[in-house]
Structure 1
Amino acid sequence: MDNKIKHRYISDNYKYLIAFLWYFNRLFCSATDTMKYGDWIRDGDNSREPNTLVSTKEMFEFGFFTPEGSPGGKRYAGIWYCKVSPRKVVWVANRDNPLVTSKSRGRVFGIRKDGNLQVFDDVVGNGTSFWSSNLKSSSSSPNRTVTLLDTGNLVLTEYDGTWLWESFKEPTDTFLPGMKMDENLTLIPWKDQYDPYSGDFRFKFDEGNKQFVILNKTIAYWKSGEPGKFLSSNKMPDVITDFLLDSSKLEPSYKNYSTKYKVLPTVSTYSYKMLVIKSNGKVEYGSWDDKLWMAGWSEPSDRCSEFNVCGDFGICSSDEKKFPCRCLPGLKPSLVDKWESRDYSDGCTRGTQLCSGEKDTFRRLKMVKVGNPDSTTRLPVNNETECMKECQDRCKCQAYSFQAASDKNNGTRGEYTPPTSWCWTWFESLNDLQEENNTNDGGHNFYVRVALSDLNGNTSIASIEKPSRRRISSTLIVLLTVISIIGLLCICVVISFVIWRRKKAKRLDNRRSSDRRNRALHMLDTERC
């Protein structure tokens, strides 16, 4: 083999080796985790530059993608789990401003001259921007780098290690270990499973009330509840609360974007756990296990979990055999037409308003969860009669509940602290009422104030506690009566028909017998002649 042929042989093999290594590199998510100023991620496999960033331990990958099942040729820059199939996207940069493949051909991500991270089209115009980190323009951009961490956090860093911007501060629909859910952080779902565009729901932390909330635009859709509050259960397990509020301990503590990045925890600290808000407003907590999404908790979990789903003065039942909503005793739907069409948002109203001079009474509801009373309305009392009087003496008091003392030695050793009974009263509209089917939460009976004139003369507790059941029983009685009458008529008809047939058969038998006797007599007379 001459040198020329040998050189060509080696050259061809070298090209094949380079191609093999490149595809092997792509297959196993092997790529750089950091880009400096002047480096670019270009959309398309024909580029000589890297198509993605991959975190050091190959946990996460950043690049351009089209959502699986998406009907249009829209391209987004985002972050997804590196070794999970099908692809699970956890962050999208240009979610509300996609690049359309038919209109843009130079889709690029990188650090631009103003020092910002940008997703732009370097073919159209002067590099039209489709997303930016929106930092102030800086002349130090040549010294900046962007890194994808093993937490899934994309970080823009200054030359001295200062964090200038991070994706964890601007999430989309997913909360990952290392984030911290404070009042500045909001999760917004995809429009649907194929479109990352911002949906209508919002998941955030209500710092004032120390609870998590889901908003449907601006209206409260779900609340986690304040832990430890009377008659209001905390719908979020402690493990998830800790995950949302304390998982930032996985990252270095920092107070603002200018804090210097120091030490990363080991990759073993991280798992595939996450919390996601779905397009239907439901929040799910779970993890990826053997390429499957395992949801361990979600809310709202049923129809009564939605906040105030039956409106003010309406009570919700999660029992599928019952109507979902009913009014409190003596109250009626505010808008009957909407109520009958199963739109309960306007709730119920009193026929006779309180403080109008009409006589009233209290009716008991068993095992009810209700929105928290004002903190100033909890009073120590000796017994339930005192509690009722506290509410009865104030005409604007809507309801009360008595919490009997627990006779336990709650002092130090050798000391005894007398137990205290508490009286809870409500002066505002009663909302988020739920009928509780079990007593595991230590629920209490709830007494609602109602005018005697609104009870229509029916003051029995049984008829008031379950009005829908009374209506159902009346309907059932009428139905059974009608069926019984029809059944009796059918039986009478059948019996009458049987009697008629028997009588007819008997008459025929008698006629045949008479005919036989007549023939016999006739033959006898003939023989005598």
Structure 2
Amino acid sequence: MVLQVKSKNILWIANRDKPLPYNGGVLAIAEDGKLKLLDENGIPYWYTEVERSSPLRRVAKLMDSGNFVLQDDQVGISLWESFKHPTDTFLAGMYMGENLSSTSWAGQDDPKPGNFTFKMDQGENQYQITKPFIWYWRSAELQDVFSPDEIIPYQILYLLSNFSQSVNPAGKKSVHNNLTVTPMDYSRMRLIMNCTGEIQCWIEDKVKGWSLIWWEPRDPCSVIHSCGTFGSCNSNYERECQFLRGFGPVSPEHWNSGDFSGSRTGKTALCGGKDMFLRLKMTKIWKTDSNLPVNNETECLKECLSSCRCQAYSYEESDNTRRDNPSDGGTCWIWTEELNDLQQGFSNGSRDLCVRVAASDLGNSLSRIWEKRWYLANLAQLNLNCKQRHNLIR
């Protein structure tokens, strides 16, 4: 049994993992008051989980919103509704909370539950796409400055919250990923968890029909761990994934074949000798493990060196520091876990990231250059200002 609109877009399927035989079946309110889908022999292929009651009191209705409901006709309340049991489609009137999710089809023509599920994780304050046992994509958390492109447009957040979330003043435009989304008729809007792993937003125009206006992941670099541990992704290159200097693939065979999911490894253990920092320009990375106020970048660098767990740091000057008031210092961001989801080549919402690398892994000639810069950058008597130090170790 399926619900669909006139343009043949299937919105909901009752028995998606248990199809009826070709000779068909019947949808009926059974003697126990449950709505059931039965084959010609009366064997149920699907039924609603509701309390038993007289079928004379119950009625099934398909609402204009697309919601299919089972009601107690005597008191006028809904006992069950398809909006609380979606398949791959989210419509206006649903609420995407902890107990609701949309699961993709197994294939373009196979409505069985597929590999991808879109859901909300209130504990993490974000929306996620998952595959069996793993994360596939996740939205940025509110005010997450490290992954600005994964912020969901406010109109879609408004739809997902069943119009209960004030995410932006009404009537304003929102621009994400070079796409402008204007205020819309939410009754002509739907979200699809696609079988290829994309959460897609479609809107219907009376003349043009359905148009795709937003989707995530936007590109291969938006997929979680797309380049593995200590791998960097840049969708502007023909080969998106590159491992950082001083790190290498665990399995070169997999790497060369285009399987970038395997982790990277440093050739030399950190904290065992002179550790250097590889500065990555214009980098996006998932949220940091911790942050603390510091006076300058040298203090941030030393904070990282003080713990063998520190994998990388990033220093951000305060607004007053940027206005030539160095006394106000800035913020030191520290990463203590292995680095994943690095993306380079961005001018907006990105920052320089200094990754800790063993000096011996940077090559002989390069190692000597970095060692010289290392000591120069850390001699206290030089008292370098931020700009000088930046140019020195860049």
TM-score (normalised: structure 1): 0.62
**Alpha-carbon separation, structure 2, partners of 1:400 and 1:345:** 24
SS in 2 for 1:247: coil
Quote the residue 2:291 is aligned against. 378
Quote the residue 2:220 is aligned against. 303
Q: What is the RMSD of the two structures over their aligned residues, measured on CA atoms?
A: 2.3
Native 8 Å contact 2:20 2:45 kept in 1: yes
Q: CA deviation at 1:424?
A: 0.4
Q: Residues 224-269 of structure 1: CA distance to partner in whole angstroms, max 9, x if unpaired?
A: 12132232225122221222123369xxxxxxxxxxxxxxxxxx97
Native 8 Å contact 1:180 1:248 kept in 2: no
Q: CA deviation at 1:150?
A: 1.4
Matching residue within 27, 35, 59 for 1:117: 35
Residue 241 and residue 419 in structure 1: after superposition, are their counterparts in 2 closer, same or farther (change >3 A)? farther
**Alpha-carbon separation, structure 2, partners of 1:300 and 1:154:** 31
**Alpha-carbon separation, structure 2, partners of 1:421 and 1:211:** 27
Matched, 1:240 2:156: yes
**Alpha-carbon separation, structure 2, partners of 1:462 and 1:284:** 49
**Alpha-carbon separation, structure 2, partners of 1:202 and 1:231:** 24
Quote the residue 1:152 is aligned against. 66
**Alpha-carbon separation, structure 2, partners of 1:206 and 1:168:** 19
Matching residue within 194, 199, 206 for 1:283: 199
- Supply the AA of the counterpart residue of 1:429: E
Q: CA deviation at 1:451?
A: 0.5
Residue 178 and residue 462 in structure 1: after superposition, are their counterparts in 2 closer, same or farther (change >3 A)? farther
SS in 1 for 2:18: coil
Residue 273 and residue 400 in structure 1: after superposition, are their counterparts in 2 closer, same or farther (change >3 A)? same
| Match runs of 1:401-420 below 5 Å | 401-407=314-320
**Alpha-carbon separation, structure 2, partners of 1:231 and 1:329:** 22
Q: CA deviation at 1:190?
A: 1.4
Where does the alignment leave 5 or more consecutive residues of structure 2 unmatched? 166-183, 322-326, 371-394
Matching residue within 205, 213, 233 for 1:316: 233
Q: Residues 482-513 of structure 1: CA distance to partner in whole angstroms, max 9, x if unpaired?
A: xxxxxxxxxxxxxxxxxxxxxxxxxxxxxxxx
Native 8 Å contact 2:230 2:244 kept in 1: yes
Q: CA deviation at 1:217?
A: 1.7
Q: Residues 108-167 of structure 1: CA distance to partner in whole angstroms, max 9, x if unpaired?
A: 11211111111112x32xx1111111223x133321112211111111112212221110
Native 8 Å contact 1:384 1:402 kept in 2: yes
Q: Residues 295-321 of structure 1: CA distance to partner in whole angstroms, max 9, x if unpaired?
A: 001111111011110011111111134
**Alpha-carbon separation, structure 2, partners of 1:461 and 1:145:** 80
Q: Relative contact order (C-alpha < 8 Å, sep 6+): which is higher?
A: 2
Quote the residue 2:122 is aligned against. 207
- Supply the AA of the counterpart residue of 1:346: G
Q: CA deviation at 1:193?
A: 2.1
- Supply the AA of the counterpart residue of 1:426: W
**Alpha-carbon separation, structure 1, partners of 2:114 and 2:279:** 42
Native 8 Å contact 1:364 1:461 kept in 2: no
Q: CA deviation at 1:456?
A: 2.0
Matching residue within 80, 83, 86 for 2:4: 80
- Supply the AA of the counterpart residue of 1:440: N
Native 8 Å contact 1:151 1:270 kept in 2: no
Matching residue within 329, 340, 352 for 2:256: 340
Native 8 Å contact 2:37 2:46 kept in 1: yes
Matched, 1:438 2:346: yes
Residue 404 and residue 270 in structure 1: after superposition, are their counterparts in 2 closer, same or farther (change >3 A)? closer
Residue 108 and residue 385 in structure 1: after superposition, are their counterparts in 2 closer, same or farther (change >3 A)? same
**Alpha-carbon separation, structure 1, partners of 2:123 and 2:62:** 34
**Alpha-carbon separation, structure 1, partners of 2:210 and 2:369:** 47
SS in 2 for 1:389: helix
Percent of paired sites with the same residue: 42
Where does the alignment leave 5 or more consecutive residues of structure 1 unmatched? 1-76, 250-267, 409-417, 464-529
| Match runs of 1:160-179 below 5 Å | 160-179=75-94
Quote the residue 1:330 is aligned against. 246
| Match runs of 1:97-108 below 5 Å | 97-101=18-22, 104-105=23-24, 107-108=25-26
Aligned residue pairs total 345
TM-score (normalised: structure 2): 0.83
